[in-house]
Amino acid sequence: MPFYQFFNGEIVPLDQPVFQTNDLGILRGYGLFDYFRTYNGVPFRWNDYWQRFENSARLLKLPLPVNQAEAEKILADLHAMSGEADVAFRFVLTGGYAPDSVHVVQPNLLIRTEALPQDNPAGRLKGIKVLPYEYVRDLPEIKTTNYVHMVLMADELKRQNAADLLFHKDGEVSELTRSNLFAFHGDKLITSDRNILNGITRRVVIGLAKADFDVEIRPITYKEVITADEVFTTSTTKWVMPVVQIGEQPVGNGAAGKRTLQLQHQFEELVARWGK
Q: What is the pLDDT of residues 6-47, one digit of tens each?
A: 999 999 999 999 999 999 999 999 999 999 999 999 999 999
**Residues contacting residue 95 through CB under 8 Å, at least 6 positions apart:** 23, 24, 25, 28, 30, 31, 62, 104, 107, 108
Helix (H) / strand (E) containing 231:
strand 230-235
Q: What is the pLDDT of residues 92-146, one digit of tens each?
A: 999 999 999 999 999 999 999 999 987 677 788 899 999 999 999 999 999 999 9
Task: Look at residue 79 in the predicted model and tell me its pLDDT.
Answer: 97
Which residue in 256, 275, 253 sits closest to 265, CA to CA? 256
**Residues 125 and 256: beta-carbon distance below 8 Å:** yes
Task: Look at residue 121 in the predicted model and tell me its pLDDT.
Answer: 76
Domain 121-273 CATH assignment equals 3.20.10.10: yes
Which residue in 154, 168, 158, 234 sits closest to 201, CA to CA? 234
What single letter denotes the amino acid at residue 117?
A: P
Task: Look at residue 1 in the predicted model and tell me its pLDDT.
Answer: 64
Q: What is the pTM of this model?
A: 0.95
Q: What is the mean pLDDT of the chain?
A: 96
Domain with CATH 3.30.470.10 in the chain: 4-114
Task: Look at residue 124 in the predicted model and tell me its pLDDT.
Answer: 87
End-to-end CA distance of the chain: 25
Top CATH class, 4-114: alpha beta
Domain with CATH 3.20.10.10 in the chain: 121-273
